[in-house]
Amino acid sequence: MGHVLELGRRVALQPMDAHCHDITVALYRDLAPGGTPFYAFHSYSCHPDAGLRLDFLAAAACHLGGMVASGARAHAVAWPCGAAHLSATRRLFVEVCKLAGPALPALRPPEADEARSGARYHVEGLGAGRYRLSADAPGDMSVRLRTIAGGFGKLAEMAVDEAAGPAVAFPCGHDHDRLVALLLPRALNARAAMREEESVAGRGVLVAPSAQNQPN
């Protein structure tokens, strides 16, 4: 049997990793000696494949999200800007856990198509952590763009500047191009993305007999 480790604060969980023998993978947040936040992928599983899976997930977070490896701990990653970006990191965790590995996927382009409207949306870096949203579509897309900007706000705690296009900005003032490209398809329907996270989190919670017809 293993032993519980002092890993910091758990911020995300994949209870059953379908790509690695149903092991549980968690993301822990801690502070490096200089006070910079870092995140570590961790599993208490003793399955022989668990370590390789954690290697892959950390590498995928760097590749797809633009995080960098942190020497603070095994399978640890951090944002190059030194900020925490907690919501964005949680979303990145969800995205990388979906990947089967071991090969890393192609980087996402800074654009995404929307089947419903036929529109193609773009994010364009403006520097200093700011990004302008635009759309290739007939008609006035300003309302839709504002909604997508709000999606970025929900998924990554980005500030929304409606006057500039609209534009969204990271509070750290640094660019995160890969992360923005990764988040764009989710920002098109942020509510669905958040429902997905809630659905995973809701498993294993007992419900009162009157609510479920199943007493516990």
Residues that bind other proteins (CB under 8 A): 1-4, 9-10, 13, 15-16, 22-24, 26, 43-46, 201, 203-206, 208-210, 213-216
Name which of 26 and 159 has its Cβ closer to other proteins: 26
Name which of 94 and 159 has its Cβ closer to other proteins: 94
State the nearest-atom distance from the C-beta of 53 to other proteins, in Å.
Answer: 12
The pair of structure tokens assigned to 190 is 């942020």
Beta bridge partners of 124: 132
For residue 63, CA distances in Å to 52, 67, 79, 95, 150 come to 16, 7, 12, 12, 25
Name which of 116 and 210 has its Cβ closer to other proteins: 210
The pair of structure tokens assigned to 207 is 């419900």
State the nearest-atom distance from the C-beta of 76 to other proteins, in Å.
Answer: 17
State the nearest-atom distance from the C-beta of 44 to other proteins, in Å.
Answer: 4
Beta bridge partners of 127: 130
State the nearest-atom distance from the C-beta of 199 to other proteins, in Å.
Answer: 12
Please give the Cα distance from 196 to 189 (Å, whole number): 11
Name which of 6 and 140 has its Cβ closer to other proteins: 6
